[in-house]
Amino acid sequence: MSTDTPKEQGAMKSGPVRMADADFAADRRQNDMAGALRDYWAQVRSGDLGAIPAILGIVALVALFTALRPETFLTDRNIANLFTQALPVTILAMGLVFVLLLGEIDLSAGVTSGVCAAVMAKLIVDSGQPWYVAVLGAVVTGIVIGTAIGWLVAVIRIPSFVVTLALFLGLQGITLRLVGEGGTVPVRDDVIVALANKNMPVALGWALAAACAAGYAAVQLWRWRQQHSRGLSVKPLQMVVARVAVVAAALLGGTLLLSQDRAPSPLITLAGIPWGVLLVGVLLIACTFVLGRTPYGRHVYAVGGNAEAARRAGVNVTRIRISVFMIASTLAAIAGIVAASRLNSVTPSSGAGNDLLYAVGAAVIGGTSLFGGRGKARDAVLGGLVIAIIDNGLGLLGTKAYLNFLITGSVLLLAASIDALARRRRSSAGR
Amino acid sequence: MTPVLDLRGIDKSFGSVQVLHDVDFVAYPGEVTALVGDNGAGKTTLVKCIGGVHDLDRGEFYFDGVPVRPRSPRDANALGIEIVHQDLALCENLDIVENMFLGRERTRGLSLDYSTMEEEATRVLSNLSVRTIGSVRRPVAALSGGQRQTVAIARAVLWDSRLVVLDEPAAALGVAQTQQVLELVRRLADKGLAVVLISHNMNDVFAVSDRIAALYLGRMAAQVRTSDITHREVVELITAGRSGKLGLRA
Ligand SMILES: Nc1ncnc2c1ncn2[C@@H]1O[C@H](COP(=O)(O)OP(=O)(O)OP(=O)(O)O)[C@@H](O)[C@H]1O
Ligand SMILES: [Mg+2]
């Protein structure tokens, strides 16, 4: 502030108003690598952990299970299995991220997936509908359930955990009614079954992975150039390149793993990315775009951060609240379809087991806060992998069922503790 | 001169508690109107009625001479009313730019136009001479009270508005920053906007305002030109509701 000469109070009204020089423009953050790393470290220390716990968890768990089951865990077949195992929970978790961003919860997401899967199966088996009609029926069912939850939470203002706890019970009744007590509806439609059980051609997998990596690089670099040329605050180019490299390596590495022949007998070949993984990839890109780059996404974060402030800024808070439950239930419907594809059937207990707990755990492990306002779509993918590794590893170890419950419950508690402690840390660091 | 804002006979109750009684209030273009009153007099309540945060119970609301009734903040924004709330109303998890454009984001196609928003935000903040904010992409949670106040003010002046209401904007500000806010208030009025400033600091009020409106226990005690009233009279209006022949009848 270079021109700050104190003025006489009375003179101000008539005299020309002088504004102090803008030191703001020069007051930018350092754009070099060291500065950026320092910022990142400060951010982590203040409790903003991002993807770190999930990535550490993946590394540690893979090491642990490889050590315990060296001959079965890291085989190509088991890895492919692990990916398909992660699909339903990941998709469910991606929907829950939206709900958690508002600091709400949807305890009925798991059974919603069961109801929707039952609707789909009944449409195929009983009414002989083609798969796309059945899928549409399931998705519409999800939207209807989500609208009902959203309306009860946002308009009537019942706490979401009560509404969805009630639906958790009620919807199980509907699945039971649809499927019949002790019954099973088989799912044999080729397209539905292929979703979790068939792989795309190896060449197509490589082409898609390469296209995604190139697309990601192009978007990131274009954005960097855009900001740089307009003189806006930018991350250092090295940082952008590093991020692109990590994402590309993950994409191509995953494709390499899934392109190995994992057939149990040398007579046939079994290789390629499962179609369900592609589905998760598409959903991830869509949700990331919606949350990160659209006004709607900003409004979701805003309502989660401070609903009254959002309302005063002109955001329609009620509509945002209803919409996140609709998205969660729609994604739950898709998760239910994938789960039905994986198991080739729908039973009265579809979606009523651990799925919801796993999905909440996945979102929280991935870095989404239970307190609202923080979280990303990718959290569901990272956390979903962690959960699938635990589930898969424990299966290989042949642990007793009671231990499985204890361990999974502990993992969820651990993730929630990290979230709560990080939040305390943030508020004491003023973030 | 038609007032930008002309309120007549405003009543507002919360449940059984009536907070505003038959309040008249005017704000003219090109003028700063100071709204004063003791704690709990109803200043913030009146401001929230103007901004569509509360719906008023009774009374007439004229904007540029046209009868209107903003029922939501969005309605008020659409009319050209911008409010800096006493409790700031920022989202801590969003960054400065996102907060400034919240509810009115710039888009290109389906996608947010971050670059344009950042440029405009930076320009406005530079004019406010904000210091030590660092990057405009910092989350608001990492800002000090005064810096948050500046962001809230910057958000209000970002838009082409007709009426800007600032509810105790200088409450958390240091000496130099307060001076800057007062300069800004004056500048907005000189641009032809109607500005309403709420403050407990009589020096600030007399330095910057053209008119003073004093609320006393939810009633408008008086609204007069600043040049027609003395410091002591304003204090009496605030504390007793009357001063000489001004103010409420006993
Ligand atoms: N939402 C509400 N519900 C009930 N009473 C309220 C509400 N908001 C304000 N009041 C009451 O209305 C009266 C006026 O409050 P208001 O916030 O308008 O005062 P103010 O003049 O802004 O005071 P201050 O100078 O302390 O900011 C107070 O008695 C307060 O208790
Ligand atoms: Mg107040």
Q: What is the DSSP string of B115-145?
A: HHHHHHHHHHHHHTT--S---TTSBGGGS-H
Closest residue in chain A to residue B175, using alpha carbons only: A6
pLDDT of residue B206: 93
Q: How far apart are CA B51 and CA B152, in angstroms?
A: 15
Question: What b/e readout covers B74-88, taking b as 16+ CB neighbours within 10 angstroms?
Answer: bebbebbbbbbbbeb
pLDDT of residue A431: 52
CATH tag, B1-80+161-250: 3.40.50.300
Give the confidence band of A228 by pLDDT, cuts at 50, 70, 90: confident
pLDDT of residue B153: 86
Closest CA to B147 of A166, A382, A24, A141: A24
- Considering A31-40, A99-108, A231-240, the range whose residues carry the highest mean pLDDT is A99-108
Percent of chain B residues topping a pLDDT of 90: 49
pLDDT digits (tens, 9 = 90+) for A141-156: 999 999 999 999 999 9
For an interface test with B, the pick among A2, A312, A368 (most B C-beta atoms closer than 10 Å) comes out as A312
User: What structural domains does chain A harbor?
Assistant: 51-198+274-422 (1.10.3470)
Q: How far apart are CA A142 and CA A109, in angstroms?
A: 9
Q: How far, in Å, is the centroid of ligand 2 from the Cα of B139?
A: 26
Most informative mutation of B10, B13, B17 for ligand 1 (most atoms within 8 A of CB): B17
List, in sequence order, every residue forming a beta bridge with B32; answer none if it has no partner: B195
pLDDT of residue A12: 41
Q: What average pLDDT does range B183-193 have in this prediction?
A: 89
pLDDT digits (tens, 9 = 90+) for A366-394: 999 999 999 999 999 999 999 999 999 99
The sign one gets for the Cα dihedral A332, A333, A338, A339 is: positive
Show me where the domains of chain B are located. Answer: 1-80+161-250, 88-159
Q: Compare CB distances from A9 to B51, B118, B207 and report the shortest one's residue.
A: B207
Identify which has the larger pLDDT, A96 or A429.
A96
**DSSP states of A365-422:** HHT--TTSS---HHHHHHHHHHHHHHHHHHHHHT--HHHHHHHHHHHHHHHHHHHHHH
149-168 in B: which are within 8 Å (CB) of A?
none
Identify which has the larger pLDDT, B147 or A166.
A166
The answer to whether A258 touches A80, Cβ cutoff 8 Å, is yes
Show residues of chain B in contact with A312, CB under 8 Å.
51, 53, 73, 83, 85, 89
pLDDT digits (tens, 9 = 90+) for A254-289: 999 899 888 888 888 888 899 999 999 999 999 999
Q: Is B41 in the pocket of ligand 1 (CB under 6 A)?
A: yes
Q: Who contacts A90 (Cβ-Cβ below 8 Å, separation ≥6)?
A: A280, A362, A380, A381, A384, A385, A388
pLDDT of residue A423: 84
- Residue A20 CB neighbour total at 10 angstroms: 18
Show residues of chain A in contact with B89, CB under 8 Å.
306, 308-309, 312-313
Exposure on the CB side of residue A55, measured as CA atoms within 13 A: 7
Closest CA to B73 of A425, A208, A310, A393: A310
pLDDT of residue B131: 58
Predicted model pTM: 0.90
Most informative mutation of B35, B43, B47 for ligand 1 (most atoms within 8 A of CB): B43
Computed over every residue of chain A, the mean pLDDT equals 87
pLDDT digits (tens, 9 = 90+) for A286-300: 999 999 999 999 999
User: Does the structure show a pLDDT above 90 at B49?
Assistant: yes
